Structure formats: structure tokens, C-alpha cells
Amino acid sequence: MQIKKELQEYIENNIFPIYQKNDSGHGIDHIKYVIKRSIKFAKQFDNIDLDMIYVIASFHDLAHHIDKDNHEVLSGKLFYENEVMKEFFTDEQRQIIKEAIEDHRASLKHEPRSNYGKIISSADRNTDLVSALKRTHAYTIKHYPDLDLDGMINRAYMHISKKFGIDGYAKTYCYDKEFEEFKTNVADLIKNKYGFALKYMEVNRIMDIKEKAKMFAIQAHMGQVRKSEPDKPMIMHPIGVGQLLESFGYDDNVVAAGYLHDVVEDTKYTIEDIEKEFGKDIANLVMGASEPDKSLSWEERKKHTIEETRKLPLRNKLVICADKINNLEDLFLKFEKSGQRDFNAFKRGEESQKWYYTSIYESLISGEDKDLPIFLKLKDILDKVFYKKENLFLRDTIFVDNQDYYAKLRKLHAQKIELQRLKSLVTLPKPFVIEFTGTPRTGKTTIINNLYDFFKKGGFEVSLIEEFTTSKYYKEELRSKFDSMSYSDRDLAIFEEIYKQLQNAVLTKKDLILIDRSLNDRQIWNYRRLVRGDMPEDLYLNAREKYSKLSKQLIDFLVVTSADSLTSLRRDYNSSLALENRSFLNEANLGEYNESLQALKELFVESVDSVVSLDTSRMSMNDVSIEIASQVLPVMRKKYIKAFQQKHNLK
């Protein structure tokens, strides 16, 4: 049976040209591939109309450029509304064709509704590994243009694994030997992420020696952790070294050697492995940064390194210099965070370490321009760690009468610097969200402003969301409308607005979102209404469960501040010139608020990953801010480390 000539001519002249708008993975080459396979698979079924098969395959991705996430439905609609197609097929045939187009997508949960749907769904499966990697890359660069190479590789790895892995969602409803062989090839490829990355870069002609080196180092150091900070993967150090060298603009081989500099020293791989994989130049750079036989004593090894470093060419010295900078910065931050100069993690004490690092610095600058920016950076951190260099203006002038406060700020600053370094390695999947709630006049606004300033000055992208019910938008746009509603309807409407506001904020590319009274604050209002008898218990419990689940999805940290009623009132009067009675701030109202906070403690723990409740009655506002920041920063640190582990699929 042949496809009607008039039908084929119409499709080729009027439908195929539209595929120029799609990405190459869903372009005309893919359509012709699916047409060929569809006609082949049609032979496995009885009473199949090839004209229908041809049209289904020709239309199935037509709307991909319009809406990739809903393209199967839109493509079916484009076919069904096509007037010319009505001349070729009956209404019953058109309905079958439309449903088959809608059913072709591999990720759909339901089985195709007809044999036509099973044929197109099977024909749409990839059977060629190179093609699959190319299609994935084409899709990624069009729809995720902001991803760097590392991000593209990770996305491709996850996509290929989920779709075509052993338990992948892509299925076939026809006998397809090619597809089974393809899945076997995929299973072999995804066993090793480094091998996958190489294949992906090779196929898509984006091979990058720096990225290749980083991927190799990640696999080589898999499972290793930093000795001084066991919660951090070891690979963070080599990646930091490579990025530092790149930030100074050094050549690709030097940067690659930065990523690889610890591989020979700390993994199973030899310098011969490095030379075979990356060539003599990079192997030489790595060798220059590797110590001799570790069976020698610490002193012998260090003396040998100091002498050999002095003789090395500048490019070798650059790798060594970046390594020492990264190590000393880690050490400095550890000292600053703890407030103690602890060298117990090292084989030798402070004086020996001071001798070694000072001697290495002198060997590095020997015969070189000591004013090179990378050498100046090493000298600066060397002086901070071993010669106690610090900002004397801050210590002796600004904080001369408040050294304890200065010491606390230094600890916070070190934690922030560590977060900056982690941020340079990985981006959080979503902004870190902190909600602030609690009794009025307990320092909430001061904390928010201080944290905003703290992170903003540290280079973090921060968004501040004001309290919704006191916002200009609420007062001018919504209040009159909401006031006419019942308590229940108004509460729901306010919640929906707050939820929408937070959802929109989370979709931004911010690092941090500070929100004044959000989802958990609505829980307090609902509880107070329940206690007063203004809200039925069943409605309260339903709202409580709903708010808690949504909070868990969106909010990472909850700050709850309280104070005794009289303290809150004193703060209010002392911060204002007005002596008139307050309509809202009175002892009874504040007491009720505090009781609600106590009653909801367990709920708050369920609603966010981390919560801090702080009684600020006897605390200064500066101490309150320091206490909150000191609890927020370690949680953020864990988030960044977890995101790094997930990004690189670390075990």
C-alpha cells in the first residue's frame, strides 16, 4: 500500500517547512526518522492505514517550538484543525490520529489509546547513542541557555539516565531490536559519569581540556573528604585551585593542572596516566605540584619541595602558588570561625607550618616578579595566617571600646567569606528563603535589615519581601476588597496572595530571600482565631496541614522572636514620641501572641528544615542579630555543600 501522492506533496510543502522553527533535535531529520520507523512498525499490526501513520509521524512534533512542555497536545490540535486534512480523513480517522499524536510522548503516564499511538510512540524512541546525545544537547542549549558546560553535562546525564536507563520511562510497544541494543549501550555509558562527560563533549564537539580535567579529578577523588573539614568533599579544593588560576587569566593547561594537581599524590592514578590522558605539558605541571615519595619524613619531603620549587618555570610555580593560597584561605577561615589557632589536624605544629609556607613563598618568587597578582595574594593570606595581619583601623579605632563585639563580627565575616567561596563552586537549586515572624517589638525588623545589609555587602543577591498586610499593594489594591469578605474567605485570599508572592520570588535567580511574615505567620493568626472561636476546628486543621506542606517546600529557615509583654510595650513607647494608648499593642494582645508561639513550636519544626526561636527580652538588638546570623550561616553552608555533592553526583 502506497501513501497518497497528493497527501505526501501537501505535507512536504506545507508541514515540513514549519520544523525549521524547532531545535535540531526535533527538526525535519528527526521527523523523517520517525516516519521511516513508523511505516516499518506498522507491519507488526493488522489493518493499519499507512496514510494515517504518515500523517501522525509528520505532525507529532509540529508545535514543539510553541510550547515544548505541552507540544503533544498542541500538535494534535494543529492537525485536527487543519482544513486540508479533513479532505483526506473521516472524522473517526481524524480523532484516532489526534489521539495518537497526543500519546506519542515517552514521559506520559498512560499507555497509548490505539495501535496507531503505540506505533508512533515506539517510532519516536532513539536507537542511536550519538543522536540521543546530540538531541539532548540541542534541546539544552535552546531551552537552558544560562547553563555552563558543567551544568549541561549534568542535565544531559540525568535526562539520559531517567529516560533510557534500566528503569527509564521511555518504553516501546513494538518489537525493536535496535532500541534494546541502544538501552544496553546507555546502561554501559552511564555507569561512569566521567566517561559520559567525555562522550557528551566529543559528540557535540565541545571538548574542553579544562572541563575534561575537572571531570577526571572529580572521579579520581570520589569518596575523599577534606581532612580539616570532613563534611566537605576533597574535590572542592582542586576545583577551587583551578578556578583561582582561571580567574587570573592563565592558559588552559595551567588551569587543567590546577584541577589535577592532587591526583597523582592522593589517588590511584599515576603521572603516566595523566600524560596519556592530557599530554606531556599538563603532566609536567602536575608533577611539579606533587611531592616525592611519602615514605620520607615530613621534614625531608618539605625541604625537597622547597628546593625543587625554586628551580621550576613560572607556569609550574603558578599551580603550586594557587594550591597554597587555597589551603591557607581554608586554614584562615577555620581559625576565624572558631576563634582558635588550632594546628592539631597537621603532622607538624604552627612553627613548622610557618617555616614551610614562608619558605615555599620565597621559592616561588625567586627569580620572578614578586608583584604578580597571584604572588601578592599568597603573601597577603600568608601574613594573615602566620603573622597575624589584620585591619588595625577596625580593631583599634572603630571597635576600640567594643572588642568582644568585634570578635563576634569577625567570626560571622569568616562564615560569610566561606559561603562566598562555596557560592563560586555551586548555585543553590532555589534561593535560600528565611521567614521572620514573632511578637511585635521583639527585634524582627532590625534583624531583617541587618541580615540584608550583611549579605548584600558580601556580594549575595538578596531580595527583601515586606510584610504583605502592611504593604502599599495590600492597602491600596486589596484591602477594601478583602474587608468585605468573611473571616475564612479573607484568610484564604491573603494566604493565596502571600503564597503567590513567595512562589514568584523563588523563581528568581536570587541567592537569598528575606520575607517579613509569610506562610508560618498565617498559622499564628489562624491559631489565635481558633482559640477565640472565630474559626471552626476542621477548617483550622485543613489550613494548618496545607500551610505546613507548602512552607516545607519553599521556606528553608524560620526565625521566631518573642519578648515578654511589658518589654515589647516599653520598646514601642521608647521608639516613639507618642504617648497615646495603642489599639493593638497591649498586654493582653501581646500575651495572646506569645502563647500562640509556644503552642505552635512543634508545628514550626515540621514546617521548615530549620527554626530558631529567640526570647529577646534581655538582649540588645545587635546581640539578637548576631545570634540569628550565627544560626543561619551554618544551615546555608550545609545547603551549599549538599548542592555541590548533588551537582557532581558525589558518593
CA atoms within 13 A on the CB side of 542: 8
The C-alpha cell 546502561 sits at: 187
Does residue 560 sit in helix, strand or coil?
A: strand
Catalytic residue among 99, 229, 266, 606: 266
The 10 Å Cβ neighbour count of residue 66 is 13
Q: Which of 148, 111, 345, 125 is nearest to 243 (CA)?
A: 148
Phi, psi dihedrals of residue 515, rounded to the nearest 5°:
-125, 125
The one-character DSSP state at 225 is B
With CA atoms as reference, report the closest residue to 238 among 279, 273, 289, 189.
289
d(CA 181, CA 484): 66
Q: Which residues pair with 4 in a beta bridge?
A: none
The yes-or-no answer on residue 266 being catalytic is yes
**How far is it, in rounded angstroms, from Cα 598 to Cα 615?**
11
- 571 within 8 A of 554, measured Cβ to Cβ: no
Distance CA 263, CA 569 (A): 63
Other C-beta atoms lying within 10 Å of the C-beta of residue 10 = 18
Query: Catalytic: which of 9, 69, 265, 299?
Result: 265
H helices, E strands: number in the chain = 33, 5
User: What's the CA gap between 359 and 187, in Å, rounded?
Assistant: 51
Cα–Cα distances in Å, from 502 out to 52, 53, 492, 497, 513? Answer: 48, 47, 15, 9, 9
**Residue from 635, 640, 631 nearest 232 by CA:** 640
* Residues designated catalytic: 265-266
